[in-house]
Amino acid sequence: MKPITLPANQPAARFYQGGAQIAAFRGTERHEPNTPEDWVGSTTSVRGKAPEGMTRLESGELLADAIASEPEIWLGPEHVARYGHDCMLLVKLLDAGQRLPVHAHPDGHFAQTHVAAAHGKAEAWYILSAGTVYLSLTTDIAPEDLLARVKDQDISSVLPLMHEIDVEPGDCVFVPHGVLHAIGAGILLAEVQEPEDLSILLEWEGFDLDGEKDGHLDLGFELALTAVENSARSSENVEALIRRGGKAGNALAPEAAKFFRLDRVESPTEIAAGFAVVIAVDQGVELTLDSGTKHSLAPGTTTLLPFAAGSYVLEGPALVARPPAA
């Protein structure tokens, strides 16, 4: 199989603004309003709106269906032996046209128990344009206090109680399950995450959604907020979730490895055969297959590598997102 160049796949009418930076990154001229997310190599649907969000191959077949029919071709025998035909990965480009609402994502046990999902939603952000993010609490908030603030939409009192962190291109932020977070306006990032669309939203005023209806995974806030971490983390603990500086090699904090992998490549680097998404970051990237066939990837290109494409060498600034090791 050959590498597959993926066009933009931006679910329509999301609840927050953005999309222009994705168009600029990809080198296209137009974007639709409120299309701030590009779901790359996706086997995951927008919650309650399947198949929206799922990648379609050039043939029209859903990537998820193609993998299910030939999992070893796409994922490799070792991956299939451990995870079945679950690709264990979702990659996005995200353009925060406005600050995102304060929210969190459940862990796997909560997701399996309460919403019959196969995974929780840990995620990591590789920063492509500078800005500010908010991550975890600086002080404890009692569960009943947090519930009251959500019901009253008193989230303006919560944001100042979160760690406010300046990030630069090349920084990578890991967001564990349950940790409150928000992405500041103006940031463009590449996100790697577990393949679910599960968010517990603590605020919705100023956003195009009905948080009282859609903010709690249909569980009610009393139950949904039990998945949210309401205790403080120290500055040192939060900084340990961040890798600074965009150096080549593993981009992620150590605890992310059980969920997904993300590497930054600069000089020629061989990548073993396996399901992967490659993002050409700043300049053109040269991808050379084991067969010797070369592919030139323009800046902003997103490319899907099935296991059957074999090993390959990348040269140039690129991100390689992969599932956890089998």
If asked whether residues 145 and 220 sit together in one domain, one would say yes
Last residue of a domain, one of 223, 246, 269: 246
Reported as a pLDDT band with limits 50, 70 and 90, residue 31 is confident
In a domain, 189, yes or no: yes
If asked whether residues 242 and 159 sit together in one domain, one would say yes
Range of the domain at 154: 4-76+84-246
Reported as a pLDDT band with limits 50, 70 and 90, residue 305 is very high
Q: Is 9 buried (19+), middle (13-18) or exposed (0-12) by CB count in 10 A?
A: buried
If asked whether residues 27 and 142 sit together in one domain, one would say yes
Which residues touch 137 (CB under 8 Å, ≥6 apart)?
A: 161, 162, 163, 180, 229, 230, 231, 232, 233
Reported as a pLDDT band with limits 50, 70 and 90, residue 50 is very high
Distance from C-alpha of 291 to C-alpha of 309, rounded to nearest angstrom:
9
If asked whether residues 168 and 233 sit together in one domain, one would say yes
In a domain, 256, yes or no: no
If asked whether residues 239 and 275 sit together in one domain, one would say no
Tens-place pLDDT, residues 166-221: 999 999 999 999 999 999 999 999 999 999 999 999 999 999 999 999 999 999 99
Reported as a pLDDT band with limits 50, 70 and 90, residue 30 is confident
Question: What confidence score (pLDDT) does residue 150 get?
Answer: 97
If asked whether residues 118 and 267 sit together in one domain, one would say no
If asked whether residues 10 and 47 sit together in one domain, one would say yes
Question: Considering the chain, what is the average pLDDT of its residues?
Answer: 97
In a domain, 254, yes or no: no
Question: What confidence score (pLDDT) does residue 166 get?
Answer: 98
In a domain, 252, yes or no: no
User: Considering its fold, how many domains does the chain have in total?
Assistant: 2
Tens-place pLDDT, residues 149-173: 999 999 999 999 999 999 999 999 9
If asked whether residues 242 and 265 sit together in one domain, one would say no
Ranges assigned E (strand) in 88-148: 90-95, 103-104, 123-127, 131-137
Closest residue by Cα to residue 159 from 134, 185, 188? 134
Question: What confidence score (pLDDT) does residue 246 get?
Answer: 78
In the chain, pLDDT over 70 holds for what percent of residues? 100
In a domain, 177, yes or no: yes
Question: Average pLDDT of 44-64?
Answer: 97
If asked whether residues 50 and 131 sit together in one domain, one would say yes
Closest residue by Cα to residue 1 from 313, 326, 324, 304? 304
If asked whether residues 9 and 92 sit together in one domain, one would say yes
Give the Å distances, CA to CA, from 161 to 155, 185, 200: 10, 18, 18
Question: Looking at the predicted structure, is the pLDDT value of residue 282 above 90?
Answer: no
Last residue of a domain, one of 203, 222, 246: 246
Instruction: Write the CATH number for 306.
Output: 2.60.120.10
In a domain, 253, yes or no: no
Last residue of a domain, one of 246, 278, 296: 246
For residue 145 the two structure tokens come to 């206090």
Question: What confidence score (pLDDT) does residue 247 get?
Answer: 87
In a domain, 255, yes or no: no
Tens-place pLDDT, residues 250-279: 999 999 999 999 999 999 999 999 999 999
Question: What confidence score (pLDDT) does residue 79 get?
Answer: 98
If asked whether residues 18 and 131 sit together in one domain, one would say yes
If asked whether residues 206 and 276 sit together in one domain, one would say no
